[in-house]
A and B are shown apart, each in its own frame.
Chain A
Amino acid sequence: MEVPIVSRLMRMEPSLAVLLVVTIGAVAIVGFVAVVTTPVGMLVGDSFWEYVSAFHGLGATVFLVGSTIAVYLAWRLYVGEIRAFKDLKVMAAFSTVMSAFTIGFGNWIYIAYRSTGGPRSYFLETPGLEAIHDTFFEFKEFIALFTLPMFLVSTFILWRYGDSLVKSKEARAAASVPLLLGWVFLIMAYTLGAAITKLRGVG
Chain B
Amino acid sequence: MDVAHPTAPTAEAPAALKFPTGAIVNIAADVDNGFKNAITLNAGIGPYSGKELFMFVAWFVSWPVLHFALRKRDLKLKRWFGVFLAGTLVAVLLMWPPIFGAIAAAIKGG
**Which residues in A have some Cβ–Cβ distance to B below 8 Å?**
107, 110-111, 114-115, 134-135, 138-139, 141-143, 145-146, 149-150, 152-153, 156-157, 160-161, 164-165, 168, 170-171, 173-175, 177-178, 181
Q: A133's closest neighbor in chain B, by CB?
A: B97
Report how far A146 CA is from B95 CA in the complex, Å: 11
Q: Which residues of B contact A156 (CB under 8 A)?
A: 11
Q: A181's closest neighbor in chain B, by CB?
A: B88
Chain A to chain B: the 5 pairs with minimum beta-carbon distance, closest first: A111-B44, A149-B15, A168-B1, A142-B95, A170-B77
Q: With A111-B45, A164-B4, A171-B77 in contact, do A149 and B9 touch (Cβ < 8 Å)?
A: no
Can you list 7 A-B contacts (CB < 8 A)?
Answer: A107-B52, A134-B101, A142-B22, A142-B51, A152-B15, A153-B12, A160-B11
Q: B7's closest neighbor in chain A, by CB?
A: A160
Q: A184's closest neighbor in chain B, by CB?
A: B92
Q: Which residues of A contact B8 (CB under 8 A)?
A: 157, 161, 171, 174-175
Q: With A171-B1, A171-B77 in contact, do A149 and B59 touch (Cβ < 8 Å)?
A: yes
CB B52 to nearest CB in A, in angstroms, measures 7
Residues of B in contact (CB 8 Å), total 35
CB B16 to nearest CB in A, in angstroms, measures 9
**Which residues in B have some Cβ–Cβ distance to A below 8 Å?**
1, 4-5, 7-9, 11-12, 14-15, 18-19, 22, 26, 44-46, 48-49, 51-52, 55, 59, 77-78, 81, 85, 88, 91-92, 95-98, 101
Q: Which residues of A contact B12 (CB under 8 A)?
A: 153, 157, 174, 178
Q: Which residues of A contact B98 (CB under 8 A)?
A: 135
Q: With A134-B97, A177-B85 in contact, do A145 and B9 touch (Cβ < 8 Å)?
A: no
- The answer to whether A174 touches B45 (Cβ under 8 A) is no
Q: Which residues of A contact B4 (CB under 8 A)?
A: 161, 164, 168, 171
- The answer to whether A173 touches B81 (Cβ under 8 A) is yes
- The answer to whether B11 touches A157 (Cβ under 8 A) is yes
- The answer to whether A145 touches B46 (Cβ under 8 A) is no
- The answer to whether B95 touches A143 (Cβ under 8 A) is yes
- The answer to whether B5 touches A174 (Cβ under 8 A) is yes
A146-B92, A168-B1 known; 10 other A-B pairs, CB under 8 Å?
A: A107-B49, A142-B95, A145-B22, A149-B14, A157-B5, A157-B11, A157-B12, A170-B1, A171-B8, A173-B81
